[in-house]
């Protein structure tokens, strides 16, 4: 049993390192831009970011994910592998160009919906280039991932985020708000350039194929990606609508505060999920026929993820104001109530993540897409409902309530597929986590000044110690010993 937890802990270390590196430079980029532009300017920056992410979900059609699977599947047959890469690259290029052209054609409408004005139509046209560059770059990264050249993948992403972040900041520094769109274009171009350089180093041969062969291979790629693409596109679309609603119901400055809170609350959890995701699906597929093993693996993943996520949740609840000021500016401190509720919702993603992956492992893309799409719609409805009744605070509360429904949906699906139920260990961990979170909330409401920060530091330290104790005694993992063993191996 202990070895299972160790495998989870050891897996995807390189991917986790890259994610942390990207997070650090992402925070640096956001911090500088927030200071230079203020809440209003950062709100505009956030809306352009939502547009680009939404368009990306449509341009890829899930090919970036299905491409990894198909390339890896054909890795032993070089002819089939290279044919798959050629079809994948050309297909993604076509979908990327078509999406960018559509964005240009509907730029005035997009500007009106997102900014409540057509004044940003030219910016949308320019941002369409960022969509094109980022989409093709994602394809290049998928090729490296499918070929299992994780070293090249890591180096290309690290260099890209460094150069891209610096160029993005430079455009905003020189041009102010007018440089926002160019900052996204420069970041996208940098990502494309470095990912292309490392793909070119691979021994991939050009292959010839007729239209029939192309469409047969492309159909396979597309059908595999539909479960992810439909849900991602719908989720991005409702994110697009929600930011537009916040801008219309409140103002552009509140959009900036909300976007800042959303970024911070999702960063830490995103790293955990990225690291776990690389290893979890392959292990799950090997035992998919034995439901008892699947239940055990899902529970172990949730147990380990909940403990790690709890550290970030407690940290954000206790130090929301400090982190918003440190990572952005004093003007963003007003979002502390939002981020405290948001991070509670995000913590539930760690529990929903293994359940969602298990649904895809059982080859249920329709189930996956249906649940994700329904959640996206529900989250948007709750946002409108709670902001009408609770005003500004409703922005955070609605997020948390939405993720309670999110968890309920995935639990229902998992029960139907493999009779999932929570293990006793997981129930104990969740009880420990939520009692700790409730206590952290209490501290922030009843203490102030230096007394608050002293108690916050002491409580966070105590929580981390207990998490370490649980991992060592009940999961057979000594993190310190694991680090020491790695150091010994390198010496």
Q: DSSP letter string over 193-244?
A: HHHHHHHHTS--------HHHHHHHHHHHHHHHHHHHHHHHHHHHHHHHHHH
194-203 pLDDT, tens per residue? 888 888 887 7
Quote the CA–CA distance of 326 and 333 in Å, as a whole number. Answer: 9
Q: What is the pLDDT of residues 324-373, one digit of tens each?
A: 888 777 878 888 888 888 888 888 888 888 898 788 777 787 888 889 88
Q: What is the pLDDT of residue 386?
A: 92
Contact indicator for 298, 358 with CB cutoff of 8 Å: yes
Report how far Cα 197 is from the mean position of its chain's Cα atoms: 25
Q: Are 35 and 327 in contact (CB under 8 A)?
A: no
Residue with tokens 């202990």: 2
For residues 241-245, give the mean pLDDT: 84
pTM across the whole model:
0.69
| pLDDT band at residue 12 using 50, 70 and 90 as cut-offs | low
Q: Is residue 1's pLDDT more than 60?
A: no
Structure tokens at 275: 């690291």
Q: Give exposure, 94-128, as e/b (b: 16+ Cβ within 10 Å).
A: ebbeebbebbbeebbebbbebbeeeebbebbbbbb
Least confident range of 36-50, 258-272, 336-350 = 258-272
The share of the chain scoring above pLDDT 70, in percent, equals: 88
Q: What is the DSSP letter of 329?
A: -
The token duo for 193 is: 């350039």
Helix (H) or strand (E) holding 71: helix 63-73
Q: pLDDT of 141-174, one tens digit each?
A: 888 877 767 777 778 888 888 888 888 888 888 8
Closest CA to 432 of 297, 310, 273, 295: 310
Per-range mean pLDDT, top range of 98-102, 238-242, 334-338, 467-471: 98-102
CB 266 within 8 A of CB 19: no
C-alpha to C-alpha distance for 172 and 29, rounded to whole angstroms: 10
The alpha carbon of 339 is separated from its chain's Cα centroid by a whole number of angstroms, namely 17
DSSP 8-state secondary structure symbol assigned to residue 396: H
Residues in contact with 478: Cβ distance below 8 Å, sequence separation at least 6, in sequence order:
471, 472
Q: Where are the domains of the chain?
A: 38-241, 250-491
Tokens in use for 289?
């026929």
**DSSP 8-state class, residue 476:** -
How many whole angstroms separate alpha carbon 252 and alpha carbon 44?
A: 7
Cα distance between residue 25 and residue 267, in whole Å: 12
**Could you tell me the CA-to-CA distances from 112 to 132, 247, 280, 332 in Å, in that order?**
22, 12, 42, 26
Round to whole Å and give the CA distance between 244 and 115. Answer: 7
The CA distance from 283 to 299, in Å, is 14
Q: Please list, in sequence order, all residues whose beta carbon lies within 8 angstroms of the beta carbon of residue 453, skipping any fewer than 6 positions away.
A: none
For residue 116, what is the DSSP state? S
Q: What confidence tier does 270 reach under pLDDT thresholds 50, 70, 90?
A: confident
- Mean pLDDT, all residues of the chain: 81
The pair of structure tokens assigned to 10 is 């050891």
pLDDT tens profile 293-325: 888 888 988 888 888 888 888 988 888 888 888
Span of 118-127, 184-193, 246-255 with lowest mean pLDDT: 246-255
Find the range with the poorest average confidence among 312-321, 446-455, 475-484. Answer: 475-484
What does R_g of the chain's alpha carbons equal in angstroms? Answer: 23
**How many Å from the N-terminal Cα to the C-terminal Cα in the chain?**
29
Q: Is the pLDDT of residue 175 over 90?
A: no
């Amino acid at each position: 049993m202990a070895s299972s937890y160790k495998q989870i802990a050891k897996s995807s270390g390189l991917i986790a390192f890259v994610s942390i590196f990207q997070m650090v430079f992402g925070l640096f980029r956001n911090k500088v831009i927030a200071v230079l532009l203020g809440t209003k300017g950062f709100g505009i920056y956030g809306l352009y970011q939502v547009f680009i992410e939404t368009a990306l979900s449509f341009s890829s059609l899930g090919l970036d994910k299905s491409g990894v699977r198909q390339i890896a599947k054909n890795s032993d047959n070089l002819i089939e592998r290279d044919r798959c890469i050629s079809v994948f690259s050309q297909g993604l290029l076509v979908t990327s160009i078509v999406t960018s052209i559509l964005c240009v054609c509907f730029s005035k409408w997009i500007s009106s919906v997102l900014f409540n004005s057509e004044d940003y139509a030219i910016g949308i046209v320019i941002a369409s280039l960022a969509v094109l560059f980022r989409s093709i770059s994602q394809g290049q990264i998928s090729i490296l991932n499918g070929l299992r050249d994780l070293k090249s993948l890591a180096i290309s992403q690290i260099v890209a985020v460094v150069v891209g972040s610096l160029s993005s900041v430079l455009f905003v520094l020189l041009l102010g708000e007018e440089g926002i769109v160019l900052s996204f274009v420069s970041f996208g171009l940098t990502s494309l350039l470095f990912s292309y350089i490392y793909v070119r180093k691979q021994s991939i041969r050009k292959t010839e194929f007729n239209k029939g062969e192309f469409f047969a291979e492309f159909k396979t790629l597309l059908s595999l990606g539909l479960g992810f693409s439909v849900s991602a596109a719908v989720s991005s679309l409702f994110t697009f609508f929600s930011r537009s609603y916040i801008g219309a119901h409140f103002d552009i400055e509140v959009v900036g505060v909300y976007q800042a809170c959303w970024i911070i609350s999702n960063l830490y959890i995103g790293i955990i999920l990225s690291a776990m995701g690389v290893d979890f699906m392959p292990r799950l597929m090997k035992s998919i026929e034995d439901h008892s093993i699947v239940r055990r693996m899902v529970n172990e993943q949730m147990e380990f993820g909940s403990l790690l996520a709890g550290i970030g949740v407690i940290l954000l609840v206790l130090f929301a104001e400090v982190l918003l000021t440190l990572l952005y500016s004093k003007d963003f401190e007003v979002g502390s109530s939002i981020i405290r509720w948001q991070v509670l919702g995000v913590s539930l993603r760690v529990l929903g993540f293994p359940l969602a992956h298990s649904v895809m492992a059982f080859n249920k893309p329709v189930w996956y897409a249906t649940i994700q799409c329904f959640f996206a719609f529900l989250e948007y409805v709750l946002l409108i409902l709670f902001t009408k009744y609770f005003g500004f605070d409703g922005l955070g509360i609605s997020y948390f309530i939405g993720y309670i429904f999110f968890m309920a949906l995935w639990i229902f699906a998992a029960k139907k597929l493999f009779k999932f139920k929570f293990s006793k260990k997981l129930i104990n961990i969740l009880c420990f986590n939520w009692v700790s979170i409730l206590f952290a909330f209490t501290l922030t409401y009843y203490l102030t000044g230096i007394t608050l920060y002293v108690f916050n530091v002491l409580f966070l330290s105590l929580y981390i110690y207990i998490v370490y104790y649980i991992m060592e005694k009940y999961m057979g993992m000594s993190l310190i010993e694991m680090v020491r063993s790695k150091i010994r191996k390198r010496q």
